[in-house]
């Protein structure tokens, strides 16, 4: 062990290595150049099943952008997942393009991150089939989202809905993701992906990286504005319950001002104050202020003032996203080009994992 008075580590992002400066007690400076560090990988996806909400944005998309600076990253529009409920073909096509444009509008850079449409990379469906055969019926039956969705779509409880978490496991495992940034509602799906990966690795030999969920400290579960005990969801029949990322400033303000709160009238985070807690989480995500600071800033002020501040913060948070989105949507040809390049890069990685899996299982690979 070497003794030193001071140690400074400077990251060389370009070379993915660290330069370490060490000041010894005798005042000498040593410099060490460490081997390139292995960048960790992240992957996440969003379904194009409607216009994404403020919940999707604060719980997932905003973190994707932040994390994409420090990780090798891949992000996809999960169109295969979306057909587990019936989609109108023309509307569906439009939504896929819109959500793809949104991924660019939140600031993801296609030169730094792989941004693609799930169905453009056939390895997702192929690995999902194989993993279906390493997943138990009982495990899938316990998934809470399956139970909820089967109730909501009782006339169409299809096998795809049942096997949905296996496709999600395939999405993650194909890219050997270390971290998966998601909202709290996806935690159970992440756990099953880990179980499937561990099982496959045990039956054969280490094949898949075991992924961890990355759940942000704030905003991991943004609640409905009309029933703050329920998650904010784009499939909620009451549009006043959610803010969509493309709502106009006027609509955002109106929806936030009509959010359900309580009759106490003071702004602090506490039990039984679900509506205010939710607005505080939203405000905190948009401003970076913690709950104590927010409570201090609004001491002696009523909910009217607080709601107006939350509305303004949300409008300003979404304004640049919306502006960039509008400009991307003017050139759908460019979006398709970016998607094609993304799919090519994604396929290279995904096929490498798929081939490895197929060899281990004993398939004869084509020449």
**Which residues are known to be catalytic?**
149, 231, 234
Of 162, 145, 187, the residue nearest 84 (C-alpha)? 162
Return the number of the residue (124 or 307) whose C-beta is nearest ligand TYM.
124
Long-range contacts (CB closer than 8 Å, 24 or more residues apart) made by 157-164: 158/84, 160/83, 160/84, 161/84, 161/85, 163/128, 163/132, 163/135, 164/81, 164/84
If binding is defined by CB under 6 A, does position 342 make contact with ligand TYM?
no
Return the number of the residue (55 or 294) whose C-beta is nearest ligand TYM.
55
If binding is defined by CB under 6 A, does position 213 make contact with ligand TYM?
no
Q: How far is the CB of 95 from ligand TYM (least distance, A)?
A: 11
User: How big is the CA angle at 308 (ends 305 and 310), to the nearest 5 degrees?
Assistant: 110
The closest residue (CB) to ligand TYM is 59
Beta sheet of 41-46, edge-to-edge order: 113-117, 72-77, 41-46, 179-181, 212-214
Of 116, 127, 43, 119, the residue nearest 353 (C-alpha)? 127
Binding residue for ligand TYM, selected from 221, 322, 341, 345, defined by CB under 6 A: 221
If binding is defined by CB under 6 A, does position 96 make contact with ligand TYM?
no
If binding is defined by CB under 6 A, does position 185 make contact with ligand TYM?
yes
Stretch that binds ligand TYM, among 22-30, 66-74, 220-228, 321-329 (CB under 6 A): 220-228
If binding is defined by CB under 6 A, does position 310 make contact with ligand TYM?
no
Return the number of the residue (47 or 68) whose C-beta is nearest ligand TYM.
47
Q: How far is the CB of 100 from ligand TYM (least distance, A)?
A: 13
If binding is defined by CB under 6 A, does position 186 make contact with ligand TYM?
yes
Q: How far is the CB of 142 from ligand TYM (least distance, A)?
A: 16
Return the number of the residue (78 or 309) whose C-beta is nearest ligand TYM.
78
If binding is defined by CB under 6 A, does position 307 make contact with ligand TYM?
no
If binding is defined by CB under 6 A, does position 222 make contact with ligand TYM?
yes
If binding is defined by CB under 6 A, does position 171 make contact with ligand TYM?
yes
Considering only residues 192 through 211, tell me which ones interact with ligand TYM, judged by CB under 6 A: none
Instruction: Give the integer Cα–Cα distance in Å for 61 and 105.
Output: 10
Q: How far is the CB of 118 from ligand TYM (least distance, A)?
A: 7
Q: How far is the CB of 243 from ligand TYM (least distance, A)?
A: 11
Token pair of 335 as six digits: 């979006």
Stretch that binds ligand TYM, among 22-30, 41-49, 199-207, 353-361 (CB under 6 A): 41-49
If binding is defined by CB under 6 A, does position 45 make contact with ligand TYM?
yes
If binding is defined by CB under 6 A, does position 67 make contact with ligand TYM?
no
Binding residue for ligand TYM, selected from 220, 243, 279, 315, defined by CB under 6 A: 220
Q: Which residues pair with 179 in a beta bridge?
A: 42, 212
Return the number of the residue (181 or 253) whose C-beta is nearest ligand TYM.
181
Q: How far is the CB of 6 from ligand TYM (least distance, A)?
A: 41
| Residues in the chain, total | 367
Binding residue for ligand TYM, selected from 60, 163, 276, 346, defined by CB under 6 A: 60
- 185 exposed, middle or buried (CB, 10 Å; 0-12, 13-18, 19+)? middle
Contacts to ligand TYM by CB under 6 A: 44-47, 55-56, 59-60, 78, 81, 168, 171-172, 180, 182-183, 185-186, 219-222, 231-232
């Amino acid at each position: 062990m070497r003794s030193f008075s001071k140690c400074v580590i400077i990251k060389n992002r370009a070379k993915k290595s660290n330069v370490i400066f060490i000041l010894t007690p005798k005042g000498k400076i040593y410099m060490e150049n460490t081997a390139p560090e292995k960048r960790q990988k992240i992957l996440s996806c969003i379904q194009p099943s409607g216009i994404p909400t403020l919940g999707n944005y604060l719980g997932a998309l905003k973190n994707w952008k932040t994390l994409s600076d420090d990780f090798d990253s891949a992000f996809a529009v999960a169109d295969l997942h979306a057909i587990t409920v019936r989609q109108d073909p023309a509307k569906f096509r439009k939504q896929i393009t819109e959500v793809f444009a949104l991924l660019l509008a939140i600031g993801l850079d296609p030169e730094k991150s792989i941004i693609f449409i799930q169905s453009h990379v056939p390895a997702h469906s192929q690995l999902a089939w194989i993993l279906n055969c390493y997943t138990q019926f009982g495990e899938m039956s316990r998934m809470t989202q399956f139970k909820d969705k089967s109730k909501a779509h009782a006339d169409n409880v299809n096998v795809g809905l049942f096997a949905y978490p296996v496709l999600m496991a395939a999405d993650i495992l194909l890219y050997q993701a270390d971290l998966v940034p998601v909202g709290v509602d996806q935690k159970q799906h992440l756990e099953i992906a880990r179980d499937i990966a561990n099982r496959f690795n045990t039956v054969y030999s280490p094949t898949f990286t075991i992924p961890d969920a990355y759940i942000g400290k704030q905003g991991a579960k943004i609640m409905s504005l009309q029933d703050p005990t329920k998650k904010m969801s784009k499939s909620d029949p009451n549009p006043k319950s959610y803010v969509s990322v493309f709502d106009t400033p006027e609509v955002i303000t109106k929806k936030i001002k009509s959010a359900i709160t309580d009759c106490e009238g003071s702004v602090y985070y506490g039990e039984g104050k679900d509506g205010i807690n939710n607005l505080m989480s939203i405000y905190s995500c948009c401003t970076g202020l913690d709950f104590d600071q927010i409570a201090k800033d609004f001491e002696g002020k009523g909910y009217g003032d607080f709601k107006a501040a939350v509305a303004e913060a949300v409008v300003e948070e979404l304004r640049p996203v919306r502006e960039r989105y509008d400009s991307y949507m003017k050139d759908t040809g460019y979006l398709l080009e970016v998607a094609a390049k993304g799919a090519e890069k994604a396929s290279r990685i995904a096929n490498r994992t798929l081939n490895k899996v197929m060899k281990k299982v004993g398939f004869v690979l084509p020449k």
